[in-house]
């Protein structure tokens, strides 16, 4: 059974998928890397398969493990966050247009999907990824943006509670895009900071 770590064949042998993953994870950790994906015979391994002892006790032709450094994982999270913010704003735009045209029920469904996305981004990107960036200015800016986001979402909730659909539509179409743009730009600056840090930490001879 071939075992690959980031495209390079591992020298150890494994008699089961479970053993291959365990040793691959150990090797990745020893290199300061975090495993983000496991492919078994070129198919991404699902969580249910990972928890299935009958499956992991078996063998395969190839187990391929993909890992990232901490910085690479953070950059990936920031990129996903920016994409999610764009999708959330699309939901808000559709919600506003539907509500303003009298299609309240589907509009509120679009709104709910947008809010759920924002909550996911806040929990996974803002609270788990950005807080790991070791820069005092970024952390201060993070607090400011989180407060602005809270106020923007409270404005939306207040309009919903009051049944003021006109105000709700205006908030989604004309006010919240500024919040989305603000956050997207901020995550872009976070990514630039991480990239510059990685370059500065590289040995000079590796940059030529």
Q: What is the pLDDT of residue 39?
A: 95
Q: Which of 66, 49, 47 is nearest to 58 (CA)?
A: 49
User: Tell me: the pLDDT tens digits for 45-95?
Assistant: 998 998 899 999 999 999 999 999 888 888 999 999 999 999 999 999 999
Instruction: Please state whether the predicted TM-score (pTM) of the whole model is above 0.85.
Output: no
In this prediction, residues 159-184 reach a mean pLDDT of: 92
Strands 62-69 and 43-44 turn out to be unpaired
Q: What is the pLDDT of residue 99?
A: 92
Q: Rounded to the nearest 5°, which phi and psi values hold at 133?
A: -75, 120
pLDDT interval class at 199 (50, 70, 90):
low
Q: What is the pLDDT of residue 208?
A: 44
User: Tell me: the pLDDT tens digits for 174-193?
Assistant: 999 999 999 999 999 999 98
Q: Indicate if the pLDDT at residue 206 is higher than 50.
A: no
């Amino acid at each position: 059974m071939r075992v690959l770590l980031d495209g390079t064949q591992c020298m150890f042998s494994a008699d089961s998928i479970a053993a291959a993953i365990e040793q691959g994870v150990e090797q990745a950790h020893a290199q300061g890397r975090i495993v983000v994906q496991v492919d078994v015979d070129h198919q991404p391994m699902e969580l249910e398969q990972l928890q299935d002892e009958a499956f992991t006790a078996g063998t395969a032709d190839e187990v391929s493990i993909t890992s990232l450094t901490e910085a690479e994982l953070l950059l990936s999270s920031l990129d996903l966050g920016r994409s999610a913010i764009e999708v959330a704003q699309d939901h808000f735009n559709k919600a506003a247009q539907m509500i303003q045209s009298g299609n309240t029920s589907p509009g509120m469904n679009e709104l709910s999907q947008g809010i759920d996305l924002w909550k996911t981004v806040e929990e996974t990107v803002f609270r788990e990824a950005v807080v790991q960036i070791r820069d005092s200015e970024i952390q201060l800016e993070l607090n400011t943006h989180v407060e602005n986001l809270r106020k923007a979402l409270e404005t939306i909730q207040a309009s919903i509670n009051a049944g003021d659909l006109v105000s709700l539509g205006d908030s989604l179409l004309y006010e919240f895009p500024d919040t989305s743009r603000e956050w997207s730009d901020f995550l872009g600056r976070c990514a630039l900071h991480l990239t510059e840090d990685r370059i500065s930490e590289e040995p000079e001879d590796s940059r030529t």
